[in-house]
Structures are given as C-alpha cells and as structure tokens.
Amino acid sequence: MVVHEPAFTRWLDCLSGFPLAGVEASIKLSARGICTDRFLASIERRSFDWERFRSLCLSMQLPEQNLVTLSEAFGEANQVGFGFEAEQSRVVYKLYFEFWDRLVREIRTDPRNVTPRPLHLGLKWEPEVPGRVIAATYTCFPLLSIGGILNRLSAFPDSGSVSLQTTKKVISRAATQLRNDSFIYLEAGEECTSRRSYDLNLYKAKCRVHKMLDLLDAARAGYGLPVQAARQLETAAEQPLGHIGGGQGRDGNDYLTVYYEINHLPG
C-alpha cells in the first residue's frame, strides 16, 4: 500500500482517461532511509492540447503563475511525465518535459556538435505547501562514451560517495551488454539549491534489476540501512532496469535512485 494513499489516489484520478506511454517506479536510498513510493507516468504530448494540459496541472495543484512560462516547453516536448513521491509526512508532485525529438534532430543535422543541451525540464511542488515550486534542468551530454561517462562521474565532488561508487560498478556491469554503444547520460541542477546529480538511461542493457541487486544491497549497507531494507529492493528484482541516478541532493546529502519499468500504476 502506498503511503499517503489519499494523495496518491488524487494523483491517479487526475491521470485517469489519458493514454500512458510508459510507467516507472523507483527506489531511493540515502542515509536518511529508503523510499519506495515513487512513480512516474509518461504521456505523449500529442495526446492533449494546451488547455487540457493546463487543466491537468491545475488539478494537481500546480500554481497557475508557474504555468505562464510553460507554453513554449509544452510545444517543444515529445513527452510529458507526471510524477508522485511520498515519504513520511511529505508528498511531492512532479512534472517533466522531454525534448528527445528535438535533440535527435539537432544531432542528425550536425553529428559533430555534441555540445551539452537540455533534454528535460522538471518542476516539483508539494500540494500542501502552496506557491513553492522548484525547477530543474536536466542536461544531456550527447554521444558520450562509457569512458567519458565514468570521467564525468569521477569529476563530481565526493567522487568516493556511495552513489558514485555504486553507479560506476553498475555502468561497468551493464556495459557488457552493449556493443559499440553507450548510455544516455544527464546531469541535473536546480534553481537556488545545491543539488548536483546525474542520471543514466540503462534500458539499452536489457537487463533486470536482479542483475544489480548485490551492488544495490552493498549501497544499502554503505548508507547504514538495516538488512530489512534489502527486502524492498528485492521486490523489484524481476522488473526491467530503467535508470540509475544519484549525487548530491538539495539537502547536501548523497543519494542513489534506481528506476525500473512497471506495467501499470498501482490501483
């Protein structure tokens, strides 16, 4: 059962009637604990017009003043993601615009131009905290090799952290499933916070979470979490591994997140 079930039910009700292009769940590990009530539902942007999108955001209690600046991003996006996260007394709604089609067009036009560029724009807000919205930009490093990704991660502050050491091992293991290819690599930053984090799309490896369970359990131990927390990792063992992310959160603490594909949202 999802913590804060009423808030989760409201979020589900807002999305009802929309054709979902994909659904992911995730597990977040840090020294503060483990959070499993995290979901992301993606919708193709062509599935709705601006007015329907606007109504959906308002029903999720996104302040209207924050919608004013989103029309351009909405027009450029190929997908829009809606996220939910609940941890202890805190509920967060999330909104993501993905600009994958735009990035592909730019790279095909000039394959030598691998300048980092935005791939996602994200907004996060707490329905119970009116007016507080945090914006994040997710910058893609196009066509970065496995070696280049590992170098980027080694340049992060505190490169010996649990998240970075675990991620490097996951990349090395997942990369054995590739042939002359790499993963999509992003770095994220937020307005007015100290967050510096990264995300890797690992779907190309076509492996399931259980292939990384020993590494994730070592991370669990590295954060000082009890053995019981390993059972929560094991619940995702048979799901397709999607992304791994981590780094320094806005609170300055290290964290690691594992995303995996699910067939449908709970409930």
SS (H, E, C) 82-115: EEEEEECCEEEEEEEEECHHHHHHHHHHCCCCCC
Rounded average pLDDT over 46-70: 94
In a domain, 266, yes or no: no
pLDDT bin (cut points 50, 70, 90) of residue 267 is confident
Torsion of CA 13, 15, 16, 22, to 10 degrees: -130
- Residue located via tokens 């993501």: 96
Provide the 3-class DSSP secondary structure of residue 130: coil
Q: What's this model's pTM, rounded to 2 decimal places?
A: 0.94
Helix orientation angle between 5-15 and 50-59, rounded to the nearest 10 degrees: 170
Element (H, E) at 172: helix 162-174
* Alpha-carbon span 260 to 203, nearest angstrom: 9
In a domain, 57, yes or no: yes
Of 150, 147, 167, whose CA–CA distance to 29 is shortest? 167
With a cut of 70, say whether residue 3 has pLDDT above it.
no
* Alpha-carbon span 10 to 14, nearest angstrom: 6
Going by the DSSP 8-state scheme, the letter that residue 46 receives in this structure is: G
Average per-residue pLDDT in the chain?
94
Write out the residue range of the structural domain in which residue 69 sits: 5-261
Per-residue confidence (pLDDT) for residue 248, from 0 to 100: 94
Count of domains forming the chain: 1
In a domain, 127, yes or no: yes
With a cut of 90, say whether residue 89 has pLDDT above it.
no
- The proportion of the chain whose per-residue pLDDT surpasses 70, expressed as a percent, equals 99
Of 170, 267, 166, 264, whose CA–CA distance to 211 is shortest? 170
In a domain, 267, yes or no: no
Rounded average pLDDT over 163-175: 97
Residue 47: how many CA atoms within 13 Å on its side-chain side?
15
* Alpha-carbon span 143 to 51, nearest angstrom: 36
In a domain, 123, yes or no: yes
pLDDT bin (cut points 50, 70, 90) of residue 229 is confident
Rounded average pLDDT over 42-46: 97
